[in-house]
């Protein structure tokens, strides 16, 4: 499974990238706002840092303007994946941009039917939103399973990018069900290293080591 980091915080991306935990990055207008930086400037810095795909999202609503914005974003760096919404106009933009050789991430997917359309339109990535489905008492992981089954039935190359990750369980469940990629905030990825029994074991080791009166080195 590939790990994408869902942030525009360059320092956080760099920390995880240095550990080999970053296969790509996803951004959106909300994350750009949070960064407080110019979209072109920060996206270029991220692309220079990370070798894998960096998703940069259009903000237009009609296909023609999405395509225009998408081309401007794609010109930032070769590893840009243009992010478009899963609307009819977004699908038109996806088809146009992917036909020109650009990577396209179709976002805000909430049904298997939508995922079928994205694959047919040539999406590089489809981004089903697990957490937002869970918020309205629907099963986000079940959607990942449905898309996995459908894509495998037809050997479609569109990669399933599990998004709206809220917890470590979301990541492990998405991995078990066969998502190709997860994108998660840095804090959630780092939380994967935490376990109460690991902490308890370290406390016991520290206490016992102190009793030996020894030092290493």
SS3 66: helix
Per-residue 3-state assignment (H helix, E strand, C coil) for 104-166: EEEEEECCHHHHHHHHHCCCCEEEEEHHHHHHCCCCHHHHHHHHHHHHHHHCCCCEEEEECCC
Catalytic residue among 61, 83, 190, 200: 83
Structural contact between residues 152 and 119, judged by C-beta atoms closer than 8 angstroms: no
- Is 211 assigned a catalytic role? no
d(CA 209, CA 215): 9
Q: For residue 8, give the nearest of 207, 36, 19 by alpha carbon.
A: 36
d(CA 163, CA 99): 25
- Active-site positions? 83
């Amino acid at each position: 499974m590939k790990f994408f980091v869902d942030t525009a915080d360059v320092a956080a991306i760099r920390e995880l990238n240095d550990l080999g935990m970053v296969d790509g990055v996803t951004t959106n207008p909300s994350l750009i706002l949070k960064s407080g930086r110019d979209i072109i400037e920060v996206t270029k810095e991220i692309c220079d840092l990370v070798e894998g795909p960096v998703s940069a999202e259009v903000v237009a609503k009609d296909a023609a303007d999405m395509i225009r914005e998408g081309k401007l974003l794609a010109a930032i760096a070769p590893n840009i994946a243009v992010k478009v919404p899963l609307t009819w106009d977004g699908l038109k933009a996806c088809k146009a941009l992917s036909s020109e050789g650009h990577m396209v991430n179709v976002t805000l997917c909430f049904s298997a039917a939508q995922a079928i359309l994205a694959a047919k339109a040539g999406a590089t990535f489809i981004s089903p939103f697990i957490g937002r489905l869970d918020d309205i008492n629907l099963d986000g992981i079940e959607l990942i399973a449905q898309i996995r089954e459908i894509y495998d039935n037809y050997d479609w190359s569109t990669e399933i990018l599990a998004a709206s990750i809220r917890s470590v369980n979301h990541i492990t469940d998405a991995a078990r069900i066969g998502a190709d990629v997860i994108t998660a905030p840095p804090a959630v990825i780092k939380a994967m290293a935490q376990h109460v029994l690991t902490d308890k074991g370290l406390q016991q080791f520290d206490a016992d080591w102190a009793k030996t009166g020894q030092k290493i080195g």
